[in-house]
């Protein structure tokens, strides 16, 4: 799964917060009522004049109830606080201008968006308050109208960008307007985790005196500035969490509320965060700064504890006991994550059939290796029976890097031609329990960072099996995410919004899964054990597809699933656990993580096989078209297809299907 790269950045020592111009309506009202006549005029983000309507007074980061929490940027940057239009000169006239405007809008509210795009931004923490969501909703509606108005003189790339903007704007508008965005609460990808990421990954500068810093005085200044920004971010946390709480309450009042299991998960995560010690400042910081950080740390811990208490006392009693968000809400998330509409019943039946075929193929491989009568479970146990064939985490990195390099050599120049600036992927070890993901190339602290696969061992599970891991390396590096998401990140022909913020999981994860098959086609999974590992990964993703559709669209549980040990007749946690345990062999720690992920992230699991299905269909259509026109279809034509398709950017599946 790709994860955006971050650029480090030192922030100034003080924060700016605009006065909140909204007055709150009755509890749960949406959007907030218009400002009272005595209040200053509201901040507007999306005026065509692109100029702020009023200045924001200086204030402490704790003073705004749920409002944007900001750090000042140089006046020359031209980027005002969230809610104020970035000053960009004349009104936008081209689709590229409008895409840049959308990137500025998102960067103003989210430090990660600002870091990934390189656009100036002032938000210290992501802003999920009702005020921020109402502002974004109004701006996205206005922007959509302006994009729709651009219809004349469009070339092929302009038409794709127009459709891409409309798809992403519409799905975002629908999520905010329905209360889904404000009511999102889950184990992995909800607003709470986004806020938490900024706290546990403060992007602090290296300690002074390291070999990479020639000027010690400059290094010390950067180091202290980074810790000072960290202090401000901690001080900003109460306002950020209060804004998130207000949005959760507003959505809950409309009946949009996460299942109780997800409320409980976030309560646990918050209590765990409040007990962590990673914020402690080093002893050699100036005394006044150390004291300030310690005070901010205490303030942050109280705010996190209060947030957890609020969820437990006020949200949990109203949360549904049943798992899943339900068909109507699931459809919104499928549209957002896939860029298409899905028929749950039809896709459910298709995934069941695909799963049966993969299991049959696994059993056939097992019989070929072990003899007649052997099935997949027998071969899995056989392959894991010799510990000497496994890898320790330290040995894994060297093996995985060699595997990624071999894949690069096999596919680059043969079936695709990424930009030279992309370079080879790098494999690194992550923290235990962190899963596996890809980070795009970018800059950190002014230094270029290559596209990186991070692989974390499971807690207490230190053995990694090459036959099971090889297809994962292909998925995350080449021909997978590095050759697709990494390409986009460095392709200057795409706008910053296209490169970093307009991405669609269905397109990206679908390509990475297609990349596994492409790697097999190129001979990178030729060993029977590696082929078995590829099938095992595919079986796992199809099982998760059944879980997602069954849980979140409230479909009936198939009889063969109900019959599994530990399963019930409904899509509850026990049934999900039983199904996932039956279709893979992973540690109990990873199993619990995956169960929580499927229950708390509707539609994400569909991105893989449904996205791959579009990529495969597009390739087949291109080949059929070439042959029907009397043109050849070989490696050169396949390479051209890949190059042209990747260069389109990350598209919703409807648009991708049309474009391919």
- The region, left, alpha or beta by phi > 0 then psi within -120 to 50, assigned to residue 154 is beta
- 47 falls in which pLDDT band (50, 70, 90)? very low
Total Cβ atoms within 10 A of residue 181: 23
Decide: 60 and 7 in contact? Cβ < 8 Å: no
- 215 falls in which pLDDT band (50, 70, 90)? low
The pLDDT tens digits for 84-97 are 444 444 455 799 99
Annotated domain spans of the chain: 2-321, 344-606
- 122 falls in which pLDDT band (50, 70, 90)? confident
Q: What is the pLDDT of residue 3?
A: 43
- Distance in Å from the first CA to the final CA of the chain: 23
Total Cβ atoms within 10 A of residue 89: 8
Sorted by sequence, the CB contacts under 8 Å of residue 238 that are 6+ apart come out as 62, 299, 300, 302, 303, 306
Q: What is the pLDDT of residue 535?
A: 98
Q: What is the pLDDT of residue 106?
A: 95
| Helix, strand, coil percent values for the chain (each to nearest 5) | 55, 5, 40
Alpha-carbon torsion 136, 139, 141, 146, what sign? negative
Of all residues in the chain, the percent with pLDDT exceeding 90 is 72
Does residue 195 surpass a pLDDT of 90? yes
Distances (CA, A) of 400 to 3, 387, 469, 569: 19, 18, 8, 41
Sorted by sequence, the CB contacts under 8 Å of residue 367 that are 6+ apart come out as 373, 374, 375
Q: What is the pLDDT of residue 562?
A: 97
Closest CA relative to residue 107, chosen from 142, 141, 68, 158: 68
Q: What is the pLDDT of residue 214?
A: 53
Average pLDDT, stretch 95-108?
96
- 70 falls in which pLDDT band (50, 70, 90)? very low
Q: Report DSSP state, residue 311.
A: I
Lowest mean pLDDT among 159-168, 249-258, 413-422, 441-450: 441-450
Residue 454, φ and ψ in degrees, nearest 5: -110, 120
pTM of the predicted model, to two decimals? 0.85
Lowest mean pLDDT among 55-64, 97-106, 150-159, 242-251: 55-64
Average pLDDT, stretch 130-146?
97
Does residue 444 surpass a pLDDT of 80? no
Does residue 8 surpass a pLDDT of 90? no
Lowest mean pLDDT among 39-43, 200-204, 403-407, 538-542: 39-43
Does residue 33 surpass a pLDDT of 80? no
Does residue 482 surpass a pLDDT of 50? yes
Average pLDDT, stretch 607-632?
97
Does residue 46 surpass a pLDDT of 60? no
Sorted by sequence, the CB contacts under 8 Å of residue 253 that are 6+ apart come out as 27, 28, 29, 30
Sorted by sequence, the CB contacts under 8 Å of residue 10 that are 6+ apart come out as 205, 222, 225, 226, 229
Q: What is the pLDDT of residue 278?
A: 66
Average pLDDT, stretch 19-39?
32
Distances (CA, A) of 204 to 11, 89, 231, 257, 382: 10, 34, 11, 36, 46
More confident residue, 85 or 581: 581
Average pLDDT, stretch 1-28?
32
Does residue 26 surpass a pLDDT of 50? no
CA–CA gap between residue 70 and residue 26 (Å, rounded) = 27
Q: Which range, 42-56, 77-91, 319-333, is most confident?
A: 319-333
Q: What is the pLDDT of residue 446?
A: 67
Does residue 334 surpass a pLDDT of 70? yes
Of all residues in the chain, the percent with pLDDT exceeding 70 is 82
**What's the distance, CA 134 to chain centroid?**
23
Does residue 550 surpass a pLDDT of 70? yes
DSSP track, 331-375: HHHHHHHHSS---HHHHHHHHHHHHHHHHHHHHHHHHHHH-TT--
Does residue 254 surpass a pLDDT of 60? yes
Does residue 31 surpass a pLDDT of 70? no
Does residue 625 surpass a pLDDT of 80? yes
Q: What is the pLDDT of residue 18?
A: 30
Instruction: Tell me the average pLDDT of the chain.
Output: 85
Tokens of 533: 């590992």
Decide: 366 and 374 in contact? Cβ < 8 Å: yes
Closest CA relative to residue 593, chosen from 389, 487, 406, 456: 456
């Amino acid at each position: 799964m790709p994860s955006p790269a971050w650029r480090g950045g030192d922030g100034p020592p003080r924060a700016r917060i605009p006065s909140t111009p909204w007055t709150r309506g009755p509890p749960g009202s949406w959007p907030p009522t218009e400002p009272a006549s005595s209040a200053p005029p509201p901040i507007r983000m999306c005026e065509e004049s692109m100029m702020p309507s009023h200045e924001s007074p200086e204030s402490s980061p704790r003073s705004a109830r749920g409002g944007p929490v900001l750090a000042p940027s140089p006046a020359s940057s031209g980027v005002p606080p969230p809610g104020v239009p970035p000053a960009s000169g004349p009104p936008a006239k081209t689709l590229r201008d409008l895409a840049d405007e959308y990137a500025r809008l998102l960067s103003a509210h989210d430090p990660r968006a600002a870091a990934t795009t390189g656009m100036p931004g002032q938000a210290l923490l992501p802003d999920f308050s009702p005020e921020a969501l109402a502002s974004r909703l109004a701006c996205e509606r206005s922007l959509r109208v302006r994009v729709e108005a651009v219809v004349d003189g469009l070339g092929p790339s302009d038409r794709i960008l127009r459709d891409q903007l409309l798809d992403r704007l519409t799905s975002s508008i629908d999520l905010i307007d329905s209360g889904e965005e404000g009511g999102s609460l889950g184990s992995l990808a909800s607003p709470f985790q986004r806020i938490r990421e900024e706290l546990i990954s403060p992007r602090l500068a290296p300690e002074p005196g390291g070999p990479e810093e020639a000027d010690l005085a400059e290094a010390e200044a950067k180091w202290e500035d980074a810790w000072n920004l960290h202090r401000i971010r901690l001080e900003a946390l109460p306002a950020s969490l209060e804004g998130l709480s207000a949005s959760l309450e507003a959505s809950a009042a409309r009946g949009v509320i996460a299942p109780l299991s997800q409320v409980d998960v976030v309560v646990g995560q918050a209590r765990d965060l409040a007990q962590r010690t990673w914020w402690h400042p080093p002893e050699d910081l100036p005394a006044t700064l150390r004291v300030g950080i310690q005070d901010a740390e205490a303030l942050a811990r109280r705010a996190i504890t209060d947030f957890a208490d609020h969820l437990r006392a006020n949200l949990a009693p109203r949360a549904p006991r049943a798992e899943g968000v339900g068909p109507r809400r699931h459809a919104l998330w499928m549209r957002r994550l896939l860029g298409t509409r899905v028929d749950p019943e039809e896709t459910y039946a298709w995934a069941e059939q695909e799963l049966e075929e993969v299991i049959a193929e696994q059993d056939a491989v097992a019989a070929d290796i072990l003899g007649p009568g052997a099935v997949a479970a027998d071969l899995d146990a056989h392959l894991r029976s010799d510990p000497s064939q496994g890898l320790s985490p330290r040995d894994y990195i060297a093996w995985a890097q060699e595997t990624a390099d071999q894949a690069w050599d096999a596919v680059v120049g043969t079936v695709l031609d990424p930009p030279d600036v992309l370079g080879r992927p790098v494999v690194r070890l992550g923290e235990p329990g962190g899963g596996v993901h890809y980070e795009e190339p970018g800059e950190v602290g002014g230094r270029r960072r290559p596209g990186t696969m991070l692989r974390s061992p499971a807690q207490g599970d230190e053995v990694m099996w090459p036959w099971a891991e090889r297809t994962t390396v292909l998925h995350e590096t080449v021909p997978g995410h590095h050759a697709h998401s990494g390409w986009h990140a460095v392709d200057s022909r795409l706008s910053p919004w296209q490169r970093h913020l307009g991405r669609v999981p269905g397109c990206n994860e679908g390509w990475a899964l297609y990349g596994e098959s492409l790697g097999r086609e190129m001979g990178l999974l030729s060993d029977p054990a590696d082929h078995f590992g590829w099938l095992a990964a595919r079986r796992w993703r199809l099982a998760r597809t059944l879980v997602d559709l069954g849980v979140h669209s409230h479909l009936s549980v198939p009889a063969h699933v109900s019959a599994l040990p530990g399963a019930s007749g409904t899509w509850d946690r026990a049934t999900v656990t039983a199904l996932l345990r039956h279709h893979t062999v992973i540690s109990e720690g990873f199993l619990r993580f995956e169960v929580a992920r499927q229950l708390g992230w509707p539609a994400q699991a569909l991105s893989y096989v449904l996205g791959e299905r579009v990529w495969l269909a597009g390739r087949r259509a291109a080949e059929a078209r070439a042959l029907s026109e009397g043109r050849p279809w070989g490696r050169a034509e396949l390479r051209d297809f890949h190059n042209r398709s990747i260069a389109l950017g990350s598209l919703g599946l409807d648009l991708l299907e049309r474009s391919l």
